[in-house]
A and B are shown apart, each in its own frame.
Chain A
């Protein structure tokens, strides 16, 4: 009897387990297939309004043109009209391909095809409803064949036009998914021309200009760049090199004496900038934002053959608002310098930092993990590169040699060095580098010598459980609801090296915990905090609707950085995005080029024009460059202080390291000489420009001229011949500057 009972209970247990598994599976299915988007329903009658002024102020008026069914803004000062379609083709009635207020991409779950649609077709079909209420123009665009409705609201403010689309008001049929919305595709555009009085401005890297020269050979040059870089949580099958990214949510056009600056005031983290230059079909060049609505992953799947396929998340972030502000500019403001000033002063409202910034920066690499063996069994061992004492010694040597106080950052001084291990490097210092005592002594030393010292912590990515964060439970989820992880790529082929540790992104809800723990640790030991990931990497987490498609990341990071500042720490950020950069005392690894994209014709110091003066800007490591002379000249041209990455020791064992900085970071007589020569050569210049903002920048062939608010003008000669510029002699491969008409 007892045996029978035991058997029965075993059977029951198995049944219960199976039932649980079944329920869990169903739960999974439920999450993945229930849409939270409101159902699509087209009204019987569409409302419309006549041509009229919706709102106006002293500078601008927001108007509606019934015939073209488009809203536009008129700059009263210059008379310029900015609209989609571009005003210059109004008389031709507007080409349908460029007269749309929005383009959409949607996925038809029945056919399995990703389709595109334009609002101009809805205008032709009469499925656009337009209303005005309280000076707010509302356009509801019904894509009847797709079963999607997008509401756009236009309003006027003191500086220009504001448009927004509330995700909660979007409607879609259950069989379709709205993937993206491109907003006012030909608003920020100019007619193609070979004259250099018009251009597109894109904040790729330091900033870029693309001239609207008709591309007669290939039809157009086009590019899509994700604002704030690619999402590490999104799964993909192909790898695109992205050394620099779009750090600012802005885009602009200069069209002769007028300009239009677009600023993505909400939802930038979900946006891509679509750039099209010299399109010979539309005869226009344009830049516009494309917002992703339903997040997705891309897989290799085995159907009949292997194919790449997107897997879309069914839900969208209902709290998301996609908003863009358009600022019409003219005359002096309608240059990239003027646009940068507008963004800096009127939008970010940045103050000038009155503190004395150090004119060079040293990054130390603490250590890295290397493979070692215990009885022939592989294990990871910490390999020390720069101890706290080494750092102290190097800083002393450099100070003695240059008599200039540097700024310093410590990277990889945690338990796993520069390799990603526990969150925050385990919130501890590696004992091999001197541990807490070593750190304390270095802090004290730097305080005495007035050296700004920042210790770097990684709080978003981890590969090991520890410090209260688990690789099992605290990992962000992908759009297809899987646990996100990735491996570093091989050094030579575009494939992930699965023999390395999996890197996971911390679930977004836990970011606050991570920063709290960091502050608990740092408040007693560290004066300056540096983040090389927070502020640089933007990622999604499909655990929580509020974090879909990277939603809310700027707000979340801003509040975390504010907490760090409130705790009394100075803050340094590496490769920071705009939402984070405004909190930083120093910005390292600031981009000095536009990323080298073929669509761009020139690099411009747009990033530097925005942030110079409010934070100390430091370049990428000069000593890691294969052309140090150019790297220094580049830093000088952009008003950025030079930076150097050093490690006290280098060993052959490190050839296996996946860090692309270590191998040329050894502190040797050569690197010491490079640092000292650079500092001595540039000290006078940097002291002269101080915290002044850049007010203009011109590049003419191999000569660049940068002018600062305090009257200093710098000339940089990249050529191989000495030249005279405005009475100043600039040697080949050198720079010179004038101090209020007094040449050096």
Chain B
């Protein structure tokens, strides 16, 4: 749906579109943050920002990509939170604090998850969009604001970086 069509269909239709996109947006936020509480907060903040930015949405805009971009930016900001980086506060292990974590808990999964948290946000975003949300490279590019070729390249670099982080886990990949 383009931006003009969303406006012409009135705000109620826009909310319908938002409601339909929420499950996808939640998976994106959860894939990036891996914490139910932060995911929920990120989604609410992104929804608020989307509402604020909607009047400026240009004709021809892809509403889904636009909203997911806002969600992605919200996730990036939370990962780069100054609080944790400057004050060095300790955090309990994620597996213990996130009651909604449903991983099998095997060592490979734990190692992969930790490696994902060590690679740059943009790389992790490409991997989440590709392997958690099943996006095509074209759709990944729309969310990241790059071409499909660039999205494919970024995904490939992210995989290479993962192999560096956990060679023993991805040796067969």
Q: Do A and B come from one complex?
A: no
